[in-house]
Structure 1
Amino acid sequence: MSETIRRCPYFLPNKGRPCGVQLRSDTQYCYNHLPQGKLFSKTKNGKTVTRVPCPLDPSHTVWSDKLSRHLKTCNTLKKKLEFESNVSKFPWLVVDFNVQGEFALENKPLDYTEFAAFVRRFSDTYKQLYSSDLEMNQIDYKYGLEERMNEVSNRKHVTQQASLIGHMAHENLLGDGTTYVEFGCGRGEFARYLLRALDTDPGLVASDKQVLLIDRQSPRMKFDTKMREEHTRGAVCVTRFKTDIKDLDLATAVSSLEIPGKVVGFSKHLCGTATDLTLRCLLNARKDPKFQFSGFLVAMCCRHACKYNWLLEESRTYLKEKFGVGQQEFLYLSKMACWATSGVRPGMSENDGADHFTGLNLRDRTEIGRQARRAIDESRAHAMKQHGFSAKLFNYVSADVSMENSCMLIKNIC
């Protein structure tokens, strides 16, 4: 009988799952997640060697006798050298362009007594401020998506894409002379279906089309080539820039394209602080008189990954004035936002979970999670209004399609 493969049980909070790396027979965790102490040591050629954090990136470890060699080949070093090379080559890549050298602030340890008191105080204030839920406005847009609708049994993603593209069409954000910028694009699937809509919707006039894809990773199986090949109306220019949004000079990036045009931004699930960085990015781009901005539609998620000092200043002011939220309280607020998608697991009911430190059951925590999400999003919409844009929040699909179902539409008033 083959031996059962053991895997690292260390829970990764940012990914919501165990590590899962295959284990050696003599360890309880993988080397990156071993607790400090004797488990980091072993005897080799009569000498004791230990696992030590990599000086370039302490999130992983290396055997002490191999540290010198590792420092020459560490992936972190390769990425750093690649980034430095790109900064010198691409004028649109500027270190910390949208955060002005601000480092993410460190949070204090959680005080659960204070946390529980804040939860109740926040919820009472929320009910006074917002008397109704966000409007539900799902659009069943079909152009360019019929084939996809017919070939998949799980229509979750295509239903979201259809509604978002439908809203862009309804708001007159689709048409000729536009540069479509997808932030956090991943493989570019959303942009692909947007281009198909521009090809097939008889109500749209869109001959030549230009797409700029922004992502800090370079995923496999991208749709870039397919987008260039499968269009039927006019020409398509697809450009991909690999960069963190915090380092993106958007005005310069757009001006470097073949046919710079008015900009329409979009994103399906722009995680956490990436949404706030994108808002900063748009505001900085607007300082360039040649930059033409039409609108931005973003489906938001992962508020737990937001960074307090990377919120727009007006967002921070809104949260402080409405809810008394400063840096530490924002840590509580962002953690509360996770509760909106916790859900009831098999074998549980909405009334379970009252042994939580707040004393609230699953149903009540889910509702407070929704409130926390909306408070953060309302602060973002408020901030963009303060900068002269129109901004509105609404649910673009029902919760049974996606529990992360809210989005924000920003438009240039001028």
Structure 2
Amino acid sequence: MLPIVQRRLQSTVATPVKRSNTSLRGVLLGFFAGVSITGFGAYYYLLDEYKSSSNAVVSDLRTDTQYCYNHLPQGELFSKTKNGKTVTRVPCPLDPSHTVWSDKLGRHLKTCNTLRKKLEFESNVSKFPWLVVDFNVQAESALENSPLDYAEFAAFVRRFSDAFKQLYSADLEMSQIDYKYGLEERMNELSNRKHVTQQASLIGHMAHANLLSDGAVYVEFGCGRGEFARYLLRALDTDPGMVAGDKQVLLIDRQSPRMKFDTKMKEEHARGAVCVTRLKTDIKDLDLATAVRSLENPGKVVGFSKHLCGTATDLTLRCLLNAQRDPEFQFSGFLVAMCCRHACKYNWLLEESRAYLKENFGIGQQEFVYLSKMACWATSGVRPGMSENDGADHFTGLNLKQRTEIGLQARRAIDESRVYAMQQRGLSAKLFNYVSPDVSMENSCMLIKNI
């Protein structure tokens, strides 16, 4: 009996089946095919939803308007009927610069970006002693510009140009420095050397003015990602004429952009350690003396900025002067490449700047509106395919070449008023062109030193 039982048991044992590679490939192909088909289906579904939503938004807009959705003017002109009721655009109470449909106002107030920023700012004011509301503008809100009188504007252009030619007989000095230390690698990598050429000249001027020294606190205003500060630190590391041990960098910007260089600055150094501190604030609210005092090793402040736009330059000058009222604050100098004079605010100019413009050009609040708009003409001149004589149908009767010249005059007048203001405050100040116009049309620079 035993042999028979053994044979039956053996017959019930399953023989292992060998799976071929072909069946495995079939499983994988089937899986990927299913995922792909599902993905395409989801893509076209979302695309249809997007088109439907976009069409719904577009249907809310008038086809004859030049305004974007969030900035439609208020009033009956921009209205619609919804559920038998008329709804209109109304200004957002938190930020009147944009409007919202009246029936959605309650919901909007809970999600408006302005509310989030306001709450964040109020929280930061309570946490950081260097953040003081309107510290550098003395609670002076920026004045609103009145409507333009184009006949008066055209007459002012000619009066201003005549006065300018009598006051300034020579062009600004051209002083471009081809500084190499810390920038060689970038010079070799880039085909477009516009930015690195500007950085090289600015750092070179700081070096020649003896602003780069051991123990300084380097403050970049309007720093963005901090690229300029990064290459300044490289210069301090590689220039054999520098004595630079531990270095401190203070970055100032009201935004917090992506792809910042803060970490790289701490890692890329050959001499000593690097301490990088970033403050997210508008310059008008910055108590610089308190901010520097809160650093690990406060030292002499060297400020710098590449293209500090419009009124930010004037706010920075105010910021530096206010900081000097603190007996512990040490100021060495400030180098700034300026731009965007059209964004300047008359009452945020230094008092001495306003006096300079009034005395030399008869410029008050309304005339400054004209002057700031004229400054735009310096960088909107002749383009490829155009002639210097084009554009004579302008309200001033001036062609492109003539308006470009007057734009340069307006730009210089604003900058010269800043130089005058700093000189009146007991500082050394000089205005010059730091690169040629073919590198950057915004090529004016101001160097301020404590004497």
Amino acid of the residue matched to residue 134 of structure 1? Answer: L
- Say if 2:207 is the partner of 1:169: yes
Counterpart CA distance in 2 for 1:49 and 1:126 is 53
Structure 1 unmatched runs, 5+? 7-21
Amino acid of the residue matched to residue 24 of structure 1? Answer: V
Amino acid of the residue matched to residue 155 of structure 1? Answer: R
Instruction: Give the deviation of 1:48 after TM superposition.
Output: 3.6
Instruction: Give the deviation of 1:392 after TM superposition.
Output: 0.3
Counterpart CA distance in 2 for 1:23 and 1:156 is 41
> Superposed, which structure 2 residues align to 1:3-402 within 5 Å?
24-25=58-59, 27=61, 28=63, 29-36=67-74, 40-402=78-440
Instruction: Give the deviation of 1:37 after TM superposition.
Output: 5.3
RMSD of equivalent CA atoms: 1.8
Q: Deviations over 1:227-283 (max 9, x none)?
A: 111111110000000000000000000000011000000000000010000000000
Contact kept in structure 1, 2:72 and 2:89, CA below 8 Å: no
Counterpart CA distance in 1 for 2:441 and 2:172 is 14
Contact kept in structure 1, 2:309 and 2:340, CA below 8 Å: yes
Counterpart CA distance in 1 for 2:137 and 2:275 is 30
Among the aligned pairs, what percent are the same residue? 88
Instruction: Give the deviation of 1:100 after TM superposition.
Output: 0.4
Instruction: Give the deviation of 1:348 after TM superposition.
Output: 1.3
Instruction: Give the deviation of 1:35 after TM superposition.
Output: 4.6
Counterpart CA distance in 2 for 1:284 and 1:114 is 37
Q: Deviations over 1:329-351 (max 9, x none)?
A: 11111111000000212321111
**Aligned pairs, number:** 396
Counterpart CA distance in 2 for 1:23 and 1:70 is 16
Contact kept in structure 1, 2:336 and 2:445, CA below 8 Å: yes
Amino acid of the residue matched to residue 407 of structure 2? Answer: G
- Say if 2:437 is the partner of 1:409: no
Counterpart CA distance in 1 for 2:355 and 2:367 is 13
Instruction: Give the deviation of 1:103 after TM superposition.
Output: 1.2
Q: Deviations over 1:190-234 (max 9, x none)?
A: 000001111111110111000000001111111111111111111
- Indicate the structure (1 or 2) with the bigger Cα radius of gyration: 2
Counterpart CA distance in 1 for 2:407 and 2:80 is 46
Q: Deviations over 1:95-117 (max 9, x none)?
A: 00000011112222111111111
Counterpart CA distance in 1 for 2:328 and 2:73 is 54
Amino acid of the residue matched to residue 367 of structure 1? Answer: E
Counterpart CA distance in 1 for 2:413 and 2:246 is 40
Q: Deviations over 1:64-97 (max 9, x none)?
A: 2221122122110111111111111100000000
Q: Secondary structure at the match of 2:448?
A: strand
Aligned CA distance change for structure 1 residues 124 and 77 (closer, same or farther; 3 Å): same
Counterpart CA distance in 1 for 2:353 and 2:192 is 36
Contact kept in structure 1, 2:72 and 2:99, CA below 8 Å: no
Instruction: Give the deviation of 1:33 after TM superposition.
Output: 3.5
Task: Please state which structure has a larger fraction of its residues in helix.
Answer: 2
Counterpart CA distance in 2 for 1:69 and 1:318 is 49
Structure-1-length-normalised TM-score: 0.92
Amino acid of the residue matched to residue 377 of structure 1? Answer: D
Q: Deviations over 1:27-68 (max 9, x none)?
A: 335322435456743344444433322111122222322211
Aligned CA distance change for structure 1 residues 314 and 137 (closer, same or farther; 3 Å): same
Counterpart CA distance in 2 for 1:33 and 1:302 is 24
Counterpart CA distance in 1 for 2:73 and 2:215 is 57
Contact kept in structure 1, 2:302 and 2:333, CA below 8 Å: yes
Contact kept in structure 2, 1:31 and 1:51, CA below 8 Å: no
Q: Secondary structure at the match of 2:195?
A: helix
Counterpart CA distance in 1 for 2:145 and 2:200 is 39
Q: Secondary structure at the match of 2:58?
A: coil
Structure-2-length-normalised TM-score: 0.85
Q: Secondary structure at the match of 1:24?
A: helix
Contact kept in structure 1, 2:221 and 2:252, CA below 8 Å: yes
